[in-house]
Amino acid sequence: MRDNKETLYPTLNAKSQRMADAINGFCQENQIGAQLLNTGSIFYLHFQREPIATSRDVTNTNTEAEREFYLHLMNHGVTVPGIHLFFLSDAHADADVDEIIEAFKQSFLDVRADGLM
């Protein structure tokens, strides 16, 4: 990683930002009360509409939708650890990122169909 840091990190960060932008854009367009926050390739999904600038802004109000979302996500082939903090790596190809984005979109629609959003 150290030997390739000049290309690895910019590529990984661009891939990560593309994923966050796609998921957040989908949520905004579909009026889904969730937002994917990231710093580089580290992600956390919050189930709230209100903007989050600091940790004091996090409300954690829709825990039932959150729980169901991760179950649906797993059914769509994406597993996120129980702490719900997840990462992309250089091993994730663009096609993998596309699959993750689609799994997120479908899982949001599934949770909406369940009446939780």
CA distances from 16 to 56, 76, 102 (A): 24, 20, 15
Supply the pLDDT for residue 21. Answer: 98
The percent of residues in the chain predicted with pLDDT above 70, rounded, is: 100
Contact yes or no for 66/85 (Cβ under 8 A): no
Q: What is the mean pLDDT of the chain?
A: 93
Q: What is the model's pTM? A: 0.92
Dump pLDDT digits (tens) for 36-66. Answer: 999 999 999 999 888 888 889 888 777 899 9
Confidence tier at 35 by pLDDT (50, 70, 90): very high
Q: Left if phi > 0, otherwise alpha if psi is -120 to 50, otherwise beta: which for 56?
A: alpha
Over range 17-44, report the average pLDDT. 96
